[in-house]
Amino acid sequence: MHRLSVDIAGVLIGRFDKLSDKKREDERSRIAYLLRQAIPNDTPVLDHLPNGRPILSSTHNISISHTGQWGAIYIVPPPFIPGIDIEEVSDRALRVCGRFMNDKEMELLTSASLEQQQLLSTIIWSAKETAFKIFNPPDANLQARFDTSLPSTLPSEGDLFSFGLTYSKPYPPALSITIQAVYTEGIVLTCAQYAPAID
pLDDT tens track for 21-75: 787 888 888 999 999 999 999 899 999 999 889 999 988 999 999 999 999 999 9
**In this predicted model, which residue has the larger pLDDT, 136 or 76?**
76
199 pLDDT band (50/70/90 cuts)?
low
Q: Report the pLDDT value the prediction gives residue 169, as an integer from 0 to 100.
A: 81
Q: Using omega within 30 degrees of 0 as the cis cutoff, is the peptide bond preceding 79 cis?
A: yes
Of 47, 81, 115, at which residue does a domain stop?
A: 81
199 within some domain: no
181: in domain: yes
125: left (phi over 0), alpha (psi -120 to 50) or beta: alpha
Rounded-to-integer distance, Cα 91 and Cα 29, Å: 28
Say if 26 falls within a structural domain. Answer: yes
The residue out of 81, 106, 124 marking a domain boundary is 81
Residue 26 domain boundaries: 2-81
- Three-state DSSP state, 73: strand
Beta strands in the chain (DSSP E): 2-4, 11-15, 46-48, 54-56, 61-67, 70-76, 81-88, 146-149, 161-167, 175-184, 187-194
Average of per-residue pLDDT across 105-111: 94
68: alpha, beta or left? (left if phi > 0; alpha if psi -120 to 50): left
Kindly tell me if the per-residue pLDDT of 100 is higher than 80.
yes
**Among the listed residues 115, 112, 105, 84, the one whose alpha carbon sits nearest the alpha carbon of residue 166:** 105
Last residue of a domain, one of 26, 56, 81: 81
Per-residue pLDDT at 26: 82
pLDDT at 97: 95
Are the beta carbons of 93 and 87 closer than 8 angstroms?
A: yes
Q: CA 48, 191, 29 angle in degrees (round to 5)? A: 45
Q: Would you place residue 135 in the very low, low, confident or very high pLDDT band (cuts 50, 70, 90)?
A: very high
Question: pLDDT averaged over the chain?
Answer: 91
pLDDT band, residue 19 (cuts 50/70/90) = low
Q: Which of 84, 86, 59 is nearest to 9 (CA)?
A: 84
105 and 74 assigned to the same domain: no
Task: Note the pLDDT tens digit of each residue in 149-186.
Answer: 998 788 899 999 999 999 998 777 889 999 999 999 99
Q: Are residues 92 and 179 in the same domain?
A: yes
